């Protein structure tokens, strides 16, 4: 069976959702950030003429779950790993306080959280398809996961393709390790349906790894500069690595948190 997977990219923020056209309806992966993008995603699902059977949330950043209620309503089950669901519930009030004022009327004021759990390594039968879920641990976010159907893998932001990335959660070393595990498990037939950017292949995993290393190196190399100078130097370095600058702000938001984490690690090493 050839699996039809439709990519939906938000217009307000360039974040991906995926419509998996399953035998018994639609399974949607990730739920958009804003009111207008989530509404457009819901309308796209309606236009298929198929019922929305389930939603999957790959990780706990609000651009992937905030619009879930608009998309899925009150009754469609929302699946995530226990770790993803826990972090969403734990951090949502903080995200509301930070992201809400940034987005204004585009921020969904009522949000649904995952209410069905995918156990690590388990296979869920959704809408006539078998989806296997794997807990990837902290990496791009505090809790990443991977969902797969045969050669089609949904990675969330564990892998992004030719776009800037968010590193402010600070798990860059574990992110690199997670990417190494991913590289060891996939082959040339694997299709990666990523959180940002075009669907891609294993080459993007190597590219993501290089991006993370370049970012950490750039922050480290400019650690003695004041924040504005450091930001300018890091942005100049990172802009050479990607062609799409729509998500540059995510990288820019990451510079000082990563600088602080690296400084704290250095001080700890010196004191040990």
55-60-65 Cα angle (round to 5) = 40
Backbone angles phi, psi at 254, to 5 degrees: -90, -15
Q: Model pTM?
A: 0.95
Sequence-separated (6 or more) residues with CB below 8 Å from residue 209: 176, 179, 180
Which of 149, 146, 125, 123 shows the shortest CA–CA distance to 136? 146
The residues of the chain scoring below 50 in pLDDT are 270-272
Q: What is the pLDDT of residue 272?
A: 45
126-164 per-position pLDDT tens digit: 999 999 999 999 999 999 999 999 999 999 999 999 999
Tell me the per-residue pLDDT of 21-41, one tens digit each, with 9 for 90 and over: 999 999 999 999 999 999 999
Could you say which architecture CATH assigns to the domain 4-158?
4-Layer Sandwich (3.60)
> Which residue in this structure is represented by tokens 């469609």?
76
Q: What is the pLDDT of residue 267?
A: 62
Residue 104 Rama label (left phi>0; alpha psi -120 to 50; beta):
left
**Integer CA distances (angstroms), 70 to 85, 109, 157, in order:** 18, 10, 22
- Mean confidence (pLDDT) of the chain: 96
CA dist 91 and 161 (Å) reads 26
Q: Where are the beta strands (DSSP E) in the chain?
A: 4-9, 16-22, 25-29, 52-56, 78-80, 116-117, 123-126, 129-137, 144-149, 152-156, 191-194
The residue ranges of every structural domain in the chain are: 4-158
Cα distances (Å, whole numbers) of residue 108 to 63, 79, 84, 89: 11, 19, 19, 15
């Amino acid at each position: 069976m050839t699996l039809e997977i439709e990519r939906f990219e938000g217009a307000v923020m360039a974040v991906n959702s995926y419509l998996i056209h399953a035998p018994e309806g639609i399974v949607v992966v990730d739920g958009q950030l804003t009111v207008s993008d989530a509404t457009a995603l819901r309308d796209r699902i309606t236009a298929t003429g198929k019922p929305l059977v389930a939603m999957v949330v790959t990780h706990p950043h609000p651009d992937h779950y905030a619009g879930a209620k608009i998309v899925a309503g009150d009754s469609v089950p929302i699946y995530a790993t226990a770790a993803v669901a826990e972090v969403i519930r734990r951090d949502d009030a903080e995200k509301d306080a930070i992201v809400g004022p940034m987005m204004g009327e585009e921020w969904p004021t009522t949000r649904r959280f995952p209410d069905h759990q995918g156990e690590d390594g388990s296979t869920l039968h959704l809408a006539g398809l078998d989806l296997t879920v794997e807990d990837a641990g902290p990496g791009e976010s505090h809790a990443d996961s991977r969902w797969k159907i045969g050669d089609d893998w949904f990675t969330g932001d564990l892998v992004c393709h030719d776009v800037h990335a968010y590193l402010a959660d600070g798990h860059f070393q574990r992110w690199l390790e997670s990417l190494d595990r991913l590289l060891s498990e996939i082959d040339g037939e694997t299709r990666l349906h990523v959180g940002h950017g075009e669907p891609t292949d294993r080459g993007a995993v190597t590219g993501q790894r290089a991006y993370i290393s370049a970012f950490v190196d750039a922050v480290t190399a400019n650690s003695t500069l004041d924040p504005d100078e450091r930001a300018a130097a890091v942005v100049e370095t990172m802009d050479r690595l990607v062609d799409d600058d729509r998500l540059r702000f995510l990288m820019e938001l990451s510079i000082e948190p990563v600088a602080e984490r690296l400084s704290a690690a250095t001080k700890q090493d010196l004191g040990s």
